[in-house]
Amino acid sequence: MSPAADPSCLFCKIIEGKIPSSKVYEDDDMLVFHDIHPWAPVHFLMVPKVHLASMAQVGPEHEALLGRMMSLAPKLALQEGCRPYPEGGFRVVINTGQEGGQEVQHLHVHVIGGPRPWLKG
């Protein structure tokens, strides 16, 4: 286990391959996989490999990591079936904390898109 991993964290277990996922992309810093309960025709999660409980823990030391995740999102959205901007597009959501609707306590970026209607949003 990586020292940065939390053994009780679902997404750390997915990152370590202890729980299977439907992988979209992986590199040294992040794993991207399909949401198990998609709200829309395209719905994947972008997850940093380091265990950060939420966006509330993000600081200046994470600027490069978050920048890479954000700049990769449009490419992966198209690859996964979102139509191009402006007719198509996608939604990016980072739920943070209880009142922010966060259920899994490991920072993740939802990328959601595809033809409507969607289940949520």
- Interface residues toward ligand AMP, by CB under 6 A: 10, 19, 21, 33, 35-37, 95, 101-104
Residue 95 contact, options Zn ion, ligand AMP, none, Cβ 5-8 Å cut-off depending on partner type? ligand AMP
Shortest distance (Å) from residue 107 CB to ligand AMP: 9
Residue 60 contact, options ligand AMP, Zn ion, none, Cβ 5-8 Å cut-off depending on partner type? none
106 lines the binding site for Zn ion (CB under 5 A):
yes
Count the site residues for Zn ion by CB under 5 A: 6
> Interaction with Zn ion in 2-61: which residues (CB under 5 A)?
6, 9, 11-12, 51
Please give the positions annotated as active site: 108
Whether the CB-CB separation of 112 and 118 falls below 8 Å is answered with yes
